[in-house]
Amino acid sequence: MGVPISFLDKYCPEQFEIMGITKTWFGGAAKIYPNQIQVNANGKRSQGMVSKLNDGAAIKMDSPPLNKTYYIVDDAYYTQAYVRILIKRNDYIKGAANRQDFLATALSWVAASKGQETDNYMAAYRFDNNINELKTYFNTVIDWISAVFRDVEKEMCGLDWGRLYEEFHKRSYNPSQVSSAVQRLYGDVYVKNRRGIFEYILGGETDTRLLEIRVFDDAVKQAVYKQQTDEAKSKGVSNCPYCAAGHDAGKNKIWAMKDMDADHVSAWSKGGTTDIKNCQILFLFESILRKNIRFCSCAKQVQPVGVMNTNQLF
């Protein structure tokens, strides 16, 4: 990628690696354009031949540009490109290549792929006369990331891409669908942890814990609890909608706020919002059941969801 010289004022080695420059000196041009005639912006031609196109990148034009200096070579029109610095983005790795941070990352990735610590991997291959395996694995991971994710976000830098590659690279992904998912989640105000978006998508958008979805605040919880409790008392049923719909001893129980938790009526993963209109207060056990998390009652043995008899709780 090429950027203007002014980029140097903003150069950050942790994000970019300078690869070169489109300016050449002392006959180092990749291509020589002979017999150049310069035409100034006002249309005046040079008296003799010039060689300025040989100083850097040149752009061939279909026709003479207006109000701009250009060059004629063998009846073809060229303009001289602005001097550009060639850079490579360090989108996925923290640190700078010239401080060997890339090497350290590559070593940690390839070692982990073999179930080894970095030091053990280096010791095992210390007599090798090349780093082909290391280089190949590193480039494979980077190419895989680039193939899956069209969007390049700052939160991607420094993620454990080696682990993610090992866990997910055998799955197939549609880059267009992945891009849509990234953009949707970046635009979701309820997502607190953007760094978790990429693993969340790779995993099939199932583990919402990676996103740290914004929860209902205490004011919303208290307001909904009061509304549910007042309505439940007037009807003689439990203030937990799920308990009230049941047939056990808890169907008429009024729970204290400390025994309850807020939950989404319409699940966030299905488009439900985290606002008061989509909030319900459930007995903790019912709330946990909805979130498909294992439950432990009174320090008893943890059991899978659906096995426990809720009658033992009352």
Total count of domains within the chain: 3
Residue ranges in 161-278 assigned as alpha helix (H):
161-168, 175-186, 197-202, 218-235, 241-244
Q: Which of the listed residues 88, 118, 149 is the one where a domain comes to its end? A: 88
Q: Which of the listed residues 149, 179, 211 is the one where a domain comes to its end? A: 211
Claim to verify: residue 184 and residue 227 sit in the same structural domain? no
> What pLDDT, in 10s, does the model give residues 113-131?
999 998 998 888 888 777 8
- The three-class DSSP label of residue 295 is strand
Claim to verify: residue 301 and residue 241 sit in the same structural domain? yes
Claim to verify: residue 104 and residue 149 sit in the same structural domain? yes
The one-letter amino acid code at 172 reads S
How many CB atoms within 10 Å of residue 64?
12
Claim to verify: residue 140 and residue 199 sit in the same structural domain? yes
Section 43-69 average pLDDT? 83
pLDDT at 312 over 50: no
Claim to verify: residue 95 and residue 206 sit in the same structural domain? yes
Claim to verify: residue 245 and residue 139 sit in the same structural domain? no
Q: Which of the listed residues 72, 88, 104 is the one where a domain comes to its end? A: 88
Section 37-61 average pLDDT? 83
User: What's the confidence (pLDDT) of residue 314?
Assistant: 34
User: What's the confidence (pLDDT) of residue 183?
Assistant: 94
Q: Could you tell me the residue range of the domain that residue 185 belongs to? A: 91-211
Claim to verify: residue 167 and residue 249 sit in the same structural domain? no
pLDDT at 196 over 80: yes
User: What's the confidence (pLDDT) of residue 26?
Assistant: 45
pLDDT at 165 over 90: yes
Claim to verify: residue 196 and residue 243 sit in the same structural domain? no
> What pLDDT, in 10s, does the model give residues 244-268?
887 777 788 899 998 888 888 887 7
Q: Which has more pLDDT, 304 or 265? A: 265
User: What's the confidence (pLDDT) of residue 84?
Assistant: 56
Claim to verify: residue 263 and residue 176 sit in the same structural domain? no
Claim to verify: residue 83 and residue 147 sit in the same structural domain? no
Claim to verify: residue 71 and residue 100 sit in the same structural domain? no
Q: Which has more pLDDT, 169 or 19? A: 169
pLDDT at 12 over 70: no
Claim to verify: residue 263 and residue 249 sit in the same structural domain? yes
